[in-house]
Amino acid sequence: MKKKGSFLYSQKAAPFVFVLPFVITFIIFWVYPLISAFVMSTQNIGAVSREFIGFKNYAKLLKDNVFHQAVANSFEYMVLTCALLIPFPMLYAVLLDGKLVKGKGIWKALMYVPALTSVVISGTLFRLMFTEYRTGQMNVLLALIGLPAFKWLKVKWTSEIALLVLCCWRWTGVNTLYFMSGLKSIDKGLYEAGSIDGANKWQMFRYITIPLLKPTTIYVLTISIYAGLSMFLESFMLWAGNDSPKNIGLTIVGYLYKRGIQKNDMGYACAVGVVLLVLAMIINFTQLIINGQFKKEEK
Amino acid sequence: MAEVTAMAPSREVEEKNVNKTVKNVATVVCTGFFLFLSLILVYPLFCGLIASFRPGRELIRRGLALNLDPSEISLNNYLYLFSNNADSKKYWMWFKNSMVLTLVTVFLTLIVCYFVSYGVTMYKTKLGSVIYILVIATMMVPFEILMMPLYQEMIDIKLVDTMGGVILPGLCAASTIFFFHQYMISLPKDLLDAGRIDGANEYYIAVRIMMPICKPAFSAMAILCAMGSWNNMLWPLMVFRSASKFTLTIGLNTLLTPYGNNYDVLIAGSMLAIVPIMAVFLVFQRYIIDGITTGAVKG
């Protein structure tokens, strides 16, 4: 225990030893692949050979209609999931935080249950519920209001609904929990002050809750943008594979997977990945700047 | 302003006299809403559970909907899974692989992440803050972008089709380091000095003094990490090649062939696959909810 002489045991060296595993994995499994993503995107990669082709992969992407569709699909999905998975969970969290709801613990737990299932299971269940047969759940619902059976997963807008329902099903509970923890940090005295000043419930929500929840909202928005843009497995499971009719379910990562793994064109797949990275960065930084994240001092 | 404050006492009296029944109605409505929401969220899993007691061909023929018709309900799917045949052997092999992978991942990730965040948090060095920024940086790049080059790297360093290939890239999970950091930052640093005065070296302090104090953080992260690993699909799908190494998520996915008649195994197996993680969730619910929300508190 008393090895005071040894440098490794000194207070100066210890922090280096502690963070060493991170530095190693960071370099091997993050920096290196990130750099090689850029390098590989400028190469034509065959089974044995690699040749430098400059920006030809990117030029090809510009003219690739399937890729454009994948970008459009992912973008649409991202916008819609953000629109659905921020306001509603926020509202649920405010309600669960108030005094009007009984049995909060049960609801919190039940709302989290969908997040426990893996995409394989939830995707399969939803695929079977959105089946084109008359007896599938969604068509049973349609029959209730007197509509004929519908081929949900073969038409663009209804398949978008299926994806969104699946996404909302899985993440509503999680996002509600995020907002609830954000609400906990709001000083309750502010509401008392508000009610003394004669503010009604809506005004208090609008002028106290929403502004003070902003850090949480920005956090949820940031992860939702990333998750939305890089969605893949949901669509992979919903169509039981990477092929959907007329590519209505193809996402950017789906396309990356298709080119890289299924068609063995790693260089092109890496170019897709780089475009995704740039898109995600641009969108998130714009969002963070608009929300004033870079104006004030961090921490 | 003066007017409002002058009115305040009368408002308070008014509020005290608020009709009790109005409040009760609101309580019933709000609680009812969460009952309804929770039912919707649990509904697909419930349908799946009922369906798992029916022949799998029903699923292919009819899709999934709540079907409480008692005819054809039997334990056959589960009996089949627990009897000794090729399908069930395969299934339990996946189950075992998932178990092993999850346990190893959780153990290694927690140990490594604990020490990394210990090094970052407990010593006031420049290195610590640099590492902290790098940890956050890894969060800003979606994994899907690194997927292709990382896969190529795995092939090059011969880690493809091994457990190491699945675990190592995620070993220093940014969210886990972040969580430990948040937890440790509130711990008194005097403990370290007390240990040093008693002659303990840095590593002894980290393992024997601070680790027991961080037990709650370990519990929370163990569960979240286990859930993530148990349900992880995309990366294992790429790394594992031989069928004997498949985990549950990939294995169940292989049953989803268009002409497959393995839906008996698929649906019963899916429901069984939720059981371990559901059990963990029910037992450690409180930790999980604390765990996933920590990241959001500070934004």
B172 → closest Cβ in A15, A25, A253: A25
Give the best residue of B34, B117, B129 to mutate against chain A (max A CB count within 10 A).
Answer: B34
All residues of chain A having their beta carbon less than 8 Å from the beta carbon of residue B41 are 110-111, 113-114, 169, 172-173
Q: Which long-range contacts (CB under 8 A, 24 or more apart) does B216-220 make?
A: B216/B183, B216/B287, B217/B179, B217/B180, B217/B183, B217/B184, B218/B110, B218/B114, B219/B284, B219/B287, B220/B179, B220/B287, B220/B288, B220/B290, B220/B291, B220/B294
CB B40 within 8 A of CB A88: no
Both B211 and B117 in one domain: the answer is yes
Percentage of chain A beyond pLDDT 90 is 50
Give the best residue of A100, A121, A242, A277 to mutate against chain B (max B CB count within 10 A).
Answer: A121
B65/chain A closest Cα distance in angstroms? 4
The CA distance from A31 to A223, in Å, is 21
DSSP 8-state secondary structure symbol assigned to residue A116 = G
Q: CATH number of the domain that B257 lies in? A: 1.10.3720.10
Percentage of chain A beyond pLDDT 70 is 97
A17/chain B closest Cα distance in angstroms? 8
All residues of chain A having their beta carbon less than 8 Å from the beta carbon of residue B122 are 15
A253 → closest Cβ in B4, B144, B249: B144
The parent domain of residue B234 ranges over: 84-298
Both B27 and B114 in one domain: the answer is no
Tell me which residues of chain B, numbers 115 to 154, contact chain A at a CB-CB cutoff of 8 Å: 115-116, 118-120, 122-123, 125, 127-128, 131, 134-135, 138, 140-153
Q: Which of A35-39, A47-51, B265-269 has the lowest mean pLDDT?
A: A47-51
A233/chain B closest Cα distance in angstroms? 7
A277/chain B closest Cα distance in angstroms? 7
In a domain, B8, yes or no: no
Question: Which residues, including other chains, have CB under 8 Å from residue B141's CB and lie 6 or more apart?
Answer: A30, A34, A277
The CA distance from B299 to B295, in Å, is 6
Mean per-residue pLDDT over chain A, rounded? 89
CB within 8 Å: A273 and B227: no
Q: Which amino acid is at A228?
A: G
The CA distance from A253 to A81, in Å, is 17
DSSP 8-state secondary structure symbol assigned to residue A135 = T
H helical segments located in B2-125: 2-16, 20-51, 56-62, 76-82, 86-122
CB within 8 Å: A22 and B148: no
SS3 B242: coil
Both B149 and B293 in one domain: the answer is yes
pLDDT value of residue B246: 94
- Total number of domains constituting chain B: 2
pLDDT at B1 over 50: no
Question: CA A189, A195, A201, A204 torsion: positive or negative?
Answer: negative
The CA distance from B152 to B158, in Å, is 10
Both B243 and B288 in one domain: the answer is yes
CB within 8 Å: B38 and A233: no
B123 → closest Cβ in A15, A23, A174: A15
Both B171 and B30 in one domain: the answer is no
Both B232 and B282 in one domain: the answer is yes
Percentage of chain B beyond pLDDT 70 is 89
From B76, B102, B123, the end of a domain falls on B76
Residues forming a β-bridge with A51:
A44
Third-level CATH fold of A64-290 = MetI-like fold (1.10.3720)
Pair of tokens at residue B120: 């970052």
Both B32 and B103 in one domain: the answer is no
CB A229 within 8 A of CB A283: yes
Both B88 and B216 in one domain: the answer is yes
Both B145 and B209 in one domain: the answer is yes
B11 → closest Cβ in A198, A230, A270: A198
pTM above threshold 0.90: no
Is B266 in CB contact (< 8 Å) with chain A?
yes
SS3 A265: coil
B249/chain A closest Cα distance in angstroms? 6
The CA distance from A12 to B123, in Å, is 9
From B41, B76, B111, the end of a domain falls on B76
pLDDT value of residue B261: 63
Give the best residue of B39, B144, B167, B235 to mutate against chain A (max A CB count within 10 A).
Answer: B144
B256/chain A closest Cα distance in angstroms? 6
From B42, B76, B110, the end of a domain falls on B76
The CA distance from A235 to A166, in Å, is 10
Chain B residue with minimal CA distance to A266?
Answer: B148
A19 → closest Cβ in B11, B131, B138: B131
B238/chain A closest Cα distance in angstroms? 8
CB within 8 Å: A111 and B115: no
Q: What is the mean pLDDT of residues A48-60?
A: 87
Chain B residue with minimal CA distance to A184?
Answer: B297
Model pLDDT for residues A217-252, shown as the tens digit of each residue: 998 998 899 999 999 999 999 988 888 888 999 999
Q: Which of A1-15, B73-87, B116-130, B153-167 has the lowest mean pLDDT?
A: A1-15
The CA distance from B285 to A290, in Å, is 36
Q: How many CB pairs under 8 A join A and B?
A: 303
DSSP codes, A205-253: IIIIIHHHTHHHHHHHHHHHHHHHHT--HHHHHHTTSS--GGGTT--HH
B202 → closest Cβ in A11, A121, A226: A11
All residues of chain A having their beta carbon less than 8 Å from the beta carbon of residue B36 are none
pLDDT at A1 over 50: no
Residues forming a β-bridge with A50:
A45
The CA distance from B79 to B236, in Å, is 29
The pLDDT-based confidence of B290 (bands split at 50, 70, 90) is: low
SS3 A93: helix
In a domain, B10, yes or no: no
SS3 A276: helix
Return the closest-CA partner of residue A158 out of A135, A142, A175. Answer: A142
Give the best residue of A6, A7, A18, A74 to mutate against chain B (max B CB count within 10 A).
Answer: A18
The pLDDT-based confidence of B2 (bands split at 50, 70, 90) is: very low
pLDDT at B233 over 70: yes
Q: Which of A18-27, A34-43, A232-241, B278-287 has the lowest mean pLDDT?
A: B278-287
pLDDT at B68 over 80: no
pLDDT at B271 over 90: yes
DSSP codes, B142-205: -HHHHHHHHHHHHHHTT-TTSHHHHHGGGTT-HHHHHHHHHHHTTS-THHHHHHHHTT--HHHI
The CA distance from A217 to A239, in Å, is 32
pLDDT value of residue B32: 93
B187/chain A closest Cα distance in angstroms? 17
Both B145 and B199 in one domain: the answer is yes
Tell me which residues of chain B, numbers 165 to 194, contact chain A at a CB-CB cutoff of 8 Å: 168-169, 171-172, 177
Model pLDDT for residues A79-127, shown as the tens digit of each residue: 999 999 999 999 999 999 888 888 888 898 899 899 989 999 999 999 9
In a domain, B2, yes or no: no
Model pLDDT for residues B13-41, shown as the tens digit of each residue: 555 666 788 888 889 999 999 999 999 99
CB within 8 Å: B116 and A22: yes
The CA distance from B220 to B286, in Å, is 9
CB A106 within 8 A of CB A114: no
Model pLDDT for residues B151-184, shown as the tens digit of each residue: 999 999 999 999 999 999 999 888 889 888 888 8
Both B70 and B159 in one domain: the answer is no
SS3 A44: strand
Both B139 and B270 in one domain: the answer is yes
The CA distance from A20 to A93, in Å, is 40
The CA distance from B36 to B88, in Å, is 37
Q: For chain A, how many residues are written?
A: 299
Distance of CA B281 to the CA centre of its chain: 9
CB A216 within 8 A of CB B295: no
Q: What is the mean pLDDT of residues B204-226?
A: 87
CB A76 within 8 A of CB A137: no
pLDDT value of residue A133: 85
B177/chain A closest Cα distance in angstroms? 10
Model pLDDT for residues B107-118, shown as the tens digit of each residue: 999 999 999 999
Q: For chain B, how many residues are written?
A: 299
C-beta neighbour count of B294 within 10 angstroms = 20
The pLDDT-based confidence of B298 (bands split at 50, 70, 90) is: very low
In a domain, B139, yes or no: yes
Q: Which amino acid is at A256?
A: L
The pLDDT-based confidence of B297 (bands split at 50, 70, 90) is: very low
Q: In A33-171, where do the E strands start and end? A: 43-45, 50-52
In a domain, B33, yes or no: yes
pLDDT value of residue B11: 59
Residue written as tokens 């190592």? B168
